Structure 1
């Protein structure tokens, strides 16, 4: 019988604990005694398995993941993704989600994690009796830019086949794979828009402006695919590293006012809301996961950036090498900016979505959409315009052409970097723009005119005061 007194010196409890400890595996026994496995550190989470620090160093680093074992590293990374999705009510059972896929590690991990969420939802659906909650759909979209980026035909065909294979090898439910040429923003026939697209890009002399315009056209293509195919959400693979670069480039380009709109988890200024579930994940971690899980990537279309974008990317990479927390610090600092009212999922008849929306409004002190004036956006990059930008629109009253009106109603950054410097070339540049941009400009101009009229309402003469 065991002793009751806590001061017993018989050693009965000690003998029992030693017997239990001897039954433990060697790794757990060493971890319990505070001894790391021979030759390496132990995982900071499970306190049992070896870390991936050596592997991370061999493949170029894994961010903060070098402190974890393989299983805990993957669990931690997926936990960031899942928390972003659930806390911001990104996906509901009735959604149809389109994942933008470039073939790189970021979009590959985004596709994998979205697939795993869908696969788990399908298993729960099959196991439930009432089957009341449907399983959200998933599609994959790739924007083909071979018309403006020279890629050998055999490499292009192999890359497309590799992408199709990646999507088809995912477990059910089946996912549709869409390939759309960048020129399709002009027409459903790629050859019709290819020449106009080249001419449009050639009209932009600034290297950074050309890259930015191409980025905006890519988003228009993704929106077009989503609208035509019935998707309700668009997932991008933008991670902490990419967002950190954007924070600095936007600051350099004078886009500080609209910066808060671009770095949030949700961006619903577009007709199809854009989601960034990998916002809290470093690119080093995503590369590491692709290596560990043998997730195939396709690098044929991932070219290097130049101009301001390339300089900032190199600068941030250097900062990250000196201090692995630099990218997180940049994004966390920019995250203190107050989001816009469209940086949340639009309210729908779903209690979980409504609750997440309320929490987010309270966290960032956001006002309800109905209490805010309508936003005005740049016709090219879709950035929200500040009041000072809108006041400068009063100059369009002296503009004689549609092209000039279009130019002055864009944001200063696009005016400086994308529009031709010669006034005579503006009309030609305007004639080359895709119809979706022109249509958005016509709709937006009406809102801008209403805003201007409200601002100068006190200065306007009524019919009875015009002196006639």
Structure 2
């Protein structure tokens, strides 16, 4: 039996801590200044060379950015996007070993109105970012998120590229760029000062109503991400940029991968986490920072004084269980602290994913989601799919039991204790007044049918986001107008469907 007087401290031995070399793992001479992974210490110069080489190797390996091409850098003010901006500035400098050959531009989306910032706080953050942008010498634009309310519906259309950019085409473009005057091809544009952008209070209130209509923080963040992406693509198209460069790190993409699976975006993982995203056709999104962990970026920014600006977001100071995104981020970061290979394992898994609809023609056949513009995964014809089971459960839960008896003199909504009409006309005068403007804009059942039609244009994840909204009528006008246009085209196609040739008939011709 255990005795209180017995001492066991002499028999316990502490496990020895892993020793870290004080010399650089690369040059073997310099003193170690940073340890990226266990057993990988780097000196200051070798770490900088390693960091720069990884960025340029990522761009050179994929060969998507052609020489002389205009690339728009989406900078949010965070450490990752500011580090990306610094790498581009370093690659375009005169003393760069392998210079970058594209023409950069900067865009910042001011989301202060969405998170409830005052006008003075928004101007302060814009002024801080402007000092960072002016130091680079690149042209920049500061666009408030309120402009998303005035976008044209063409932003939701996929514009196909004129021709596929193959490897031999890339080599030919590089050779042509080298033999021509490279300095004239990389002429920088004049900087644009957009600090005096006028933001109307009505637009800010309308944007806040759109986000406030979402009941959960998960739906708000998804909706905000969708609107921000639409505004970035529209800015790139209007300014003549063919590439959109994002600053998402490896840690951020690992969190995004698990979050996308949790919210039902498993079919879009290849586009959401891959190096390139060509769902919009003419504007291709690239992620050159996807090989960097948050730890590497933080060390580099601290050691080489890369400036960044803290911008509050929707989940700032939120609890861990406030949203699926926040909970997944907490889970991954805590697991990464105990198991350092967590983020890299998730990241390597995302590299092996591929999209079902890869070409533009395939994307046309699969259609695209109204909000995220990804391949539509909700048009599944298999009766045993999870989506079909969910839809059947929703229909059964909404149907009224046939054995329900109604009290005499009471309408079905009153008998069921619901304010929503069930198959009845909203007009008290009968069916002859249904749909007239004098009766409040038409029948409620018609509005409900319109909502169902809108859901048919969305992928599974975006359906969940719309389901959490109080009213879809608060969505921006360009989304609603595009939804009506797609519904009219679908109805027209059904009417003339018997006169159209299907794929089998076209193959036999």
1:201–1:152 Cα change, 3 Å: closer
Do residues 148 (structure 1) and 114 (structure 2) align?
A: yes
Q: Single out whichever of 292-301 and 64-73 deviates more from structure 2.
A: 64-73
Matched residue SS, 1:178: strand
Q: Please provide the CA RMSD for this pair.
A: 3.6
| CA–CA distance in structure 2, aligned partners of residues 286 and 259 of structure 1 | 24
**What SS does the corresponding residue of 2:143 show, helix, strand or coil?**
strand
Match of 1:328 in 2: 344
- 2:123 equivalent to 1:157: yes
Q: Is the 8 A contact 1:40 1:50 kept in 2?
A: no
For normalisation by structure 1, the TM-score amounts to: 0.70
Alpha carbons 2:68, 2:102 under 8 Å: kept: yes
Q: C-alpha offsets along residues 60-119 of structure 1, whole Å, 9 cap, x if unaligned?
A: xx4579521122212222222212211212321231111111111100011111222333
Alignment correspondent of 1:375: 366
1:218-233 alignment to 2 at 5 Å? 218-233=228-243
Cα distance in 2, alignment partners of residues 245 and 452 from structure 1: 42
Question: Are 1:63 and 1:284, in contact at CA under 8 Å, matched by a contact in 2?
Answer: no
- Residue 75 of structure 1 corresponds to 49
Higher helix proportion (structure 1 or 2): 1
Give distance in 1, aligned partners of 2:24 and 2:103. 36
Q: How far off is 1:418 after superposition?
A: 3.2
Tell me, in whole angstroms, the C-alpha distance in 2 between the residues paired with 1:455 and 1:242: 45
Change (3 A) 1:434 1:297: same
The whole-number CA distance in structure 2 between the counterparts of 1:63 and 1:124 is 27
Counterpart in the other structure of 1:111: 85
Structure 2 CA distance, aligned partners of 1:116 and 1:450? 54
Q: 1:122 to 1:317 in 2, by over 3 A?
A: closer
1:153–1:439 Cα change, 3 Å: closer
Q: 1:211 corresponds to which residue?
A: 221
Structure 1 segment 278-289 matched on structure 2, within 5 A: 278-289=289-300
SS at match of 1:147: helix
1:430-456: CA deviations, max 9, x gaps?
Answer: 3x2223433554565578779999999
Contact 2:378 2:456 in 1 (8 A): no
1:437 aligned residue: 479
Q: Is the deviation greater in 209-218 or in 191-200?
A: 191-200
Q: Is the 8 A contact 2:274 2:287 kept in 1?
A: yes
Q: Identify if the C-alpha distance between structure 1 residues 444 and 283 changes in structure 2 by more than 3 Å, giving closer, same or farther.
A: farther
* Equivalent position of 1:358 in the other structure: none
Residue 136 of structure 1: CA displacement? 2.6
Contact 1:208–1:308 (8 Å) recurs in 2: yes
| CA displacement 1:319-360 (0-9 Å, x = unmatched) | 110122210100111222224565xxxxxxxxxxxxxxxxxx
What is the TM-score normalised by the length of structure 2?
0.65
1:14 match: none
1:389–1:411 CA contact under 8 A, matched in 2 = no
Contact 2:245 2:288 in 1 (8 A): yes
The residue that corresponds to 2:462 in the other structure is 414
- Which of 299, 311, 315 aligns to 2:327? It is 311
The verdict on how the C-alpha distance between 1:294 and 1:453 changes in structure 2, with shifts beyond 3 A counting, is farther
Go from structure 1 to structure 2 and tell me whether the alpha carbon gap of 1:169 and 1:447 turns closer, same or farther (over 3 Å shift): same
Q: CA deviation at 1:154?
A: 4.6
Rounded Cα–Cα distance in structure 2 between residues aligned with 1:288 and 1:94: 32
Check conservation: 1:381, 1:414, Cα contact below 8 A. yes
> Hey, what does 1:89 align to over in structure 2?
63
> Does the 8 A contact of 1:142 with 1:180 survive in 2?
yes
How many residues align structurally?
Answer: 371
Residue 269 of structure 1 pairs with residue 279 of structure 2? yes
Instruction: Summarize the alignment of residues 243-262 of structure 1 with structure 2, pairs less than 5 Å apart.
Output: 243-262=253-272
Residue 198 (structure 1) aligned with residue 208 (structure 2) = yes
- Quickly say closer, same or farther: Cα 1:262–1:388, change in 2 above 3 A: same
Q: What runs of 5+ residues in structure 2 fail to find an aligned partner?
A: 1-19, 152-197, 393-444, 503-509
- Give the match for residue 99 of structure 1: 73
Q: What residue number does 1:300 align with?
A: 311
Query: 2:494 and 2:56 mapped to 1: Cα distance?
Result: 43
Q: State which of 99, 102, 107 in structure 2 corresponds to 1:136.
A: 102
State the secondary structure of the residue aligned to 1:234. Answer: strand
Q: 1:230 to 1:371 in 2, by over 3 A?
A: closer
What is the CA-CA distance between 1:248 and the residue it aligns to? 0.7
Q: Report deviation, 1:281.
A: 0.8
